[in-house]
Amino acid sequence: METIQHNLDKEEKLIELLAYNLVGPNGSNRWFILDENENQVGYIQYKKIHNANLKKGYSKSFGYHTFIDSSTVSCDFSREINDNTIDSINAYVLNIKRDNQEFERVEIDLGASKSLFIMSEKYGRISFSINDNEKRLYLFLNTKTDNFNVEEVLFYKNTDGEWSGNKEYSYQIKYCNKDINISDYMAKGKVIREIRGTQFSSNENKLRLSERTWNDDNLSSSSESIVEGTIDEMVIKHQMGIDCFNRFRFLINEIIPFNVDVLSLMVDEDMVKQFNLSVFFSDYDMSETKVQRELKGSKRISK
């Protein structure tokens, strides 16, 4: 009988991130997943994934089925042994368990274009991506303070090179009373503030700066000007985008039970240099006091 050369790189990476251990295989090509207390919390099974279908031209395929059901996380997925696509190798879907029997769905892609999506009863929707083709960072974040529901959107593009195009930074914050559903577009009592800067590739030290405010869906103020400076300088001076990014970094480490900083797992030093992300990856403050101060003071977004 031919010996099977197993490759569990994808599955082993997840097991390592969850700080679990893998034991096996046994005589049935099954590996057991053990938690930190040596309790079995799941398994990986080499098995037939699809039956042959001659009419449709499908051949019989084998692969690895992963099942985890621990006190903190559950997942159930299969991977064909010959499926080496980026989506298959680098993407995971997890359900994070909470004490109130609720789940937080986590979708994370560690491929060339990194992405993270979280749907949480407590936090709402969180979405993050760094697109390798468009060379930009995007973040959508829901948070709550004692008095407000808050929604923040961050966009950042700051790559160099002849064909990199314009550099851009935008930050938008939407907030309303904690008793109002911020996702309800018909609900009244919401304020939106936005600041946007564009640094054109033809001019290294000029920014087109615009600021707008909406009360409910009505535009209440708008201004636009050309100012001296760069996108990096704007991000640092504005500060609220950096604060938003730091809250995101803190929250995902609270939500996802990995044994490493989740964002450092997704964004390495080379990517920080490639996308000029150092303004977001310096020492970070995990507090929420900045947003609370801004909301209570009803100030402009810019400093």
The per-residue pLDDT for range 64-87, each reduced to its tens digit, is: 999 999 999 999 999 888 766 555
pLDDT tens by residue, 38-59? 999 999 999 887 665 555 555 6
Same domain, 74 and 18: yes
**Looking at the domain assignment, is residue 199 inside a domain?**
yes
Q: Which domain holds residue 19?
A: 1-84
**CA distance between the termini of the chain:** 71
Does 168 have pLDDT greater than 80? yes
Q: Looking at residue 84, what is its pLDDT?
A: 61
The total domain count for the chain is: 2
* Whether residues 175 and 285 fall in one domain: yes
In a domain, 100, yes or no: no
Q: Is residue 140 part of a domain?
A: yes
Count Cβ atoms within 10 A of the Cβ of residue 48 and give its class: 0-12 exposed, 13-18 middle, 19 or more buried: exposed
How far out from the chain centre does Cα 163 lie? 27
Q: Is 244 found in the same domain as 292?
A: yes
- In degrees to the nearest 10, what's the CA dihedral of 215, 210, 278, 86? 70
Looking at the structure, do residues 51 and 191 belong to the same domain, yes or no?
Answer: no
49 lies in the same domain as 149: no
**Tokens 């300088």 -> residue:** 233
- Which of the four pLDDT bands, split at 50, 70 and 90, describes residue 302? very low
CA-to-CA distance for 32 and 44, rounded, in angstroms?
7
Asked whether residue 230 falls in the same domain as residue 287, the answer is: yes
Q: Is 97 part of a structural domain of the chain? A: no
Give the mean pLDDT of 277-287.
68
Comparing 133-137, 187-191, 233-237, which segment has the lowest mean pLDDT?
Answer: 133-137
Q: What integer pLDDT is reported at residue 303 of this predicted model?
A: 32
For 46-111, the DSSP string reads EEEEE--BTTTTBPPEEEEEEEEE-SSEEEEEEEETT---HHHHHEEEEEEE-TTS-EEEEEEE-S
Domain match, 252 and 196 both = yes
User: In the numeric block, which tokens belong to residue 77?
Assistant: 């997925």
The answer to the question of residue 221 being in a domain is yes
pLDDT, tens digit, 9 for 90 and up, residues 212-259: 999 988 899 999 999 999 999 999 999 999 999 999 999 999 999 999
Q: Read off the pLDDT of each residue in 193-214 and give the average, rounded to a whole number.
A: 89
Mean pLDDT of 106-115: 90
Environment class of 292 (CB within 10 Å of its CB; exposed 0-12, middle 13-18, buried 19+): middle
Question: Within this chain, do residues 46 and 159 fall inside the same structural domain, yes or no?
Answer: no
Mean pLDDT within 206-214: 94
Statement to judge: residues 185 and 245 lie in one domain? yes
Q: Give me the chain's average pLDDT, please.
A: 84
